Amino acid sequence: MKITESLSLALKNIVSSKVRTLLTMLGIIIGVAAVIVIVGLGSGLEHYIADSFSSMGTNTLTVSVQSRGATRTMEVEDMYAIVAAHPGELELCSPTVSMMSGVKIGTETTSTSASGVSEDYNRIYSCTISRGRGLQYSDIATRAKVCVVGAYVNQAYFGGNALGQTLRVGGQALTVVGVLSQREDSMSEGGSDDCLYLPYSTAARLGGSRVSSYVVTMTDEDRIDQSKAALERSLTEFFGSDDYFTIITMSELVDTMTGMINILVGVLAGIAAISLVVGGIGIMNIMLVSVTERTREIGVRKSLGAKERTIMEQFVIEAAVTSALGGLIGIGLGYFLSAAATVAVARLLGEALTVAPTPFAVLMAFGISAGIGVLFGYLPAKKAARLNPIDALHYD
Amino acid sequence: MAALITFQDVCKYYHMGDSTVTAADHISFEIGTGEFTAIVGSSGSGKSTCMNIIGCLDVPTQGTYLLNGQDVGQMNKNQLAEIRNEMLGFIFQQYNLLPKLNLLENVEVPLMYAGVPRGERRERARAALEQVGLEDKWRHKPMELSGGQQQRVSIARALVGKPSVILADEPTGALDSRTGREVLSVLQDLHSAGHTVVLITHDNSIAVQAQRIIRLEDGRVVYDGPADARSAVVTPMAADERGGGSA
């Protein structure tokens, strides 16, 4: 008997008891859908993070200096000199001073992120000025009390007329001299348009601390390792040791975070996969019942010339088809739930996070569900194949 | 010409706990091609054991069973399955049609196991249904038919593989006497057409429809001869036990 005939026989049996088959498949359906949604959520998160980081520039190196205990202290000019010494690898440099104190606009304290930067920030962060002017070298040199604000700040707090207005950072009044163009498709609080840049010299004085963090851009994004190594050599030379600084590339940061997400997703998907095993056991149960119910049929088939292998094939294929069908329904459900989750995340959190099932996860889920059918169908099929035809024929 | 079915001192023992039950005790007979033979006996006489062995569902514990010259006792399960498929056509008391398949598909089953291609299978199954007069009902499920019709489908299924032996196990047992007679006349027609028919029954009135009777008692052959002899239906040692059975 050919495989195609076993298949059509299996389908016939499945169709003739729809409710039972559906209940049998339920475990597999839920398991497959859960795996697909979780893996889809993971890949969505990964993209979300990659996107947010790439808007900050993936060709940047972040240098942190811990001068405590070092024999030399590093001034901003020293860092500029080091960057200038590697024209082949490094391009721009800006100190970054993150302001811990909040931004106060009128009477409202906002969650806007404020950082002190150099006049090169707009090239480093690839942002353009839509109104007014950007920060200039003279602002840095004179510690001018000015700032440029992101499009969201302009829109949300100043009604689009931020230019010339005043806001307070750490108690210091700053005049808005420029507004940045919108960077994200949909602006939101805490997004990359909810930002404020002021001269690093002003920021350092407000914070009362030395500049200890720099952003350096590379000339070639594909030569991250060489660029990082060049910077590392110069800094080691400067301090006489490599204990006083750390260099983090943006891609390393992204890698670290996606690595963590992958572990989380792996654990969750593993838990979801347990329901696949439970589903497999459900299939085994029903197949065992089915073998008992169909004992006489098996006897008749054997008397008509079915070999043990043929009977075995029939039941294994039936289990595999049931399970694979459950897998297909689960994939459908998984796609549906993923789309629903995407909408739900957009509604509830206001984040554009796409829960997209990955083809790999879909293939895996389908393969595993079919495999589970074969695995858990084997025992009942063996039982069926081994039935003695005489006993089976007289079974009531 | 060599016999189609040869039993040589066939014995079958079953172990039931500590005791051994002898179901067949040195049974010997030969059935030639084209014969219509009834194997008769009350329950426990060994006729079911005989039918299982003839049908290659079971093998003798001792002795030899030759089917068309082949020693069935030496065969493994796969070979037995092949022999059943190629050489035997079963007709059961309970018809044993597969309830989820329609009549045509039911008749196709033996051909499917024989690996006959789909088109030819359809054709032959249709022809077999025509032979029993049910070709226009081929789409129906077995449960939609009367008992007599179902038994005719099972006869079609037994015939479709062109077997050497048609083995009917109490084919009229579940039918009323009129439809029973109809089924028997189908068997007689098959015999007239040259088929070898072996009928297993406990009922003398059915057995006498055959050409030859082999009567079994306690696992032994007590009569083997033409069905029209008076001694075929009444044996001296068991005459009074078998009340309504005699013709």
Question: How close, in Å, is residue A326 to chain B by CA atoms?
Answer: 23
Residue B241 has pLDDT above 80, yes or no: no
Q: What is the pLDDT of residues A56-87, one digit of tens each?
A: 667 788 888 887 777 778 888 888 888 888 88
pLDDT at B139 over 70: yes
Both tokens of B99, joined, read 């309830």
B151 Cα to chain A: minimum distance (Å): 14
Identify the pLDDT of residue A78: 87
Do the chains contact at B100 and A305, CB–CB below 8 Å?
Answer: no
- A62 and A250 Cβ atoms separated by less than 8 Å: yes
Closest CA–CA distance from residue A376 to any residue of chain B (Å): 24
Given this model, what pLDDT does residue A316 score? 92
| Cβ atoms A77, A141 nearer than 8 A | no
Q: Give the residue with greater pLDDT, A327 vs B244.
A: A327
Q: What is the pLDDT along chain A (396 residues), one digit of tens a residue?
A: 677 888 888 888 888 888 888 988 998 999 999 989 998 888 888 888 877 776 666 778 888 888 777 777 888 888 888 888 888 888 888 998 888 778 888 888 888 888 899 988 888 877 788 888 989 999 999 999 999 999 889 988 888 888 899 999 888 899 999 999 887 777 777 777 888 999 999 988 887 777 888 988 888 777 888 888 888 888 888 888 888 888 888 778 788 888 888 899 889 888 888 888 888 898 999 999 999 999 999 999 999 999 999 999 999 999 999 999 999 999 999 999 999 999 988 888 777 788 888 888 888 888 888 899 899 999 999 999 999 998 888 887
Q: What is the pLDDT of residue B240?
A: 47
Name the residue facing A304 among B58, B78, B85 (closest C-beta).
Answer: B85
User: Does B247 have pLDDT greater than 70?
Assistant: no
How much is the pLDDT for A207? 79
Q: Do B92 and A302 touch (CB under 8 A)?
A: no
8 Å CB contact of B86 and A301: no
CB < 8 Å to A384, chain B: none
Interchain pair A304, B90: CB under 8 A: yes
Residue of B nearest to A394 (CA): B94
Q: Is A305 on the interface with B (CB under 8 A)?
A: yes
CB < 8 Å to B98, chain A:
297, 300-301
Task: Flag if A307 and B77 touch (Cβ within 8 Å).
Answer: yes
* Interface residue B55 vs chain A (CB under 8 A): yes
Per the CB < 8 Å rule, is B77 touching A5? no
Q: Examine the pLDDT at B239 and tell me if it is beyond 50.
A: no
Side-chain half-sphere exposure of B197, counting CA atoms within 13 A: 31
Summarize pLDDT for B172-210 with one digit per residue, the tens: 888 888 888 888 999 999 999 999 999 999 988 889 889
Judged by CB atoms closer than 8 Å, whether chains meet at A304 and B100 is answered as no
Q: Are the C-beta atoms of A382 and A311 separated by less than 8 Å? A: no
Q: Is the pLDDT higher at A351 or at B127?
A: B127
**Residues B23-65 pLDDT 10s:** 999 999 999 999 999 999 998 898 989 999 999 999 999 999 9
Predicted pLDDT of residue B12: 93
**B59: three-class secondary structure by DSSP:** coil
Smallest Cβ–Cβ distance between A390 and the set B52, B77, B157 belongs to B52
Q: A304 and B110 in contact by Cβ < 8 A?
A: yes
Q: What are phi and psi of B100, to 5 degrees?
A: -85, -15
Measured CA distances, A286 to A303, A355, B181 (Å):
25, 34, 43
Backbone angles phi, psi at A92, to 5 degrees: -110, 160
Going from N- to C-terminal start, the domains of chain A cover 3-53+256-393, 67-243
DSSP A123-178: HHTT--EEEE----HHHHHTT-SEEEE-HHHHHHHHTT--TT-EEEETTEEEEEEE
A310 lies within 8 A of chain B by CB: yes
Contact A296 B77 (CB under 8 A): no
pLDDT of residue A312: 92
User: Is B33 in the A-facing interface, judged by CB distances under 8 Å?
Assistant: no
What pLDDT was estimated at residue A56?
Answer: 64
pLDDT above 60 for B140: yes
Look at B78 and A304 and tell me if their CB atoms are within 8 Å.
no
Closest-CA residue of A relative to B101 is A12
CA A391 to chain centroid = 59
For chain B, positions 139-158, list CB contacts with chain A under 8 A: 157
Give per-residue pLDDT as tens, B108-124.
Answer: 999 999 999 999 999 99
**B125 touches A: beta carbon within 8 Å:** no
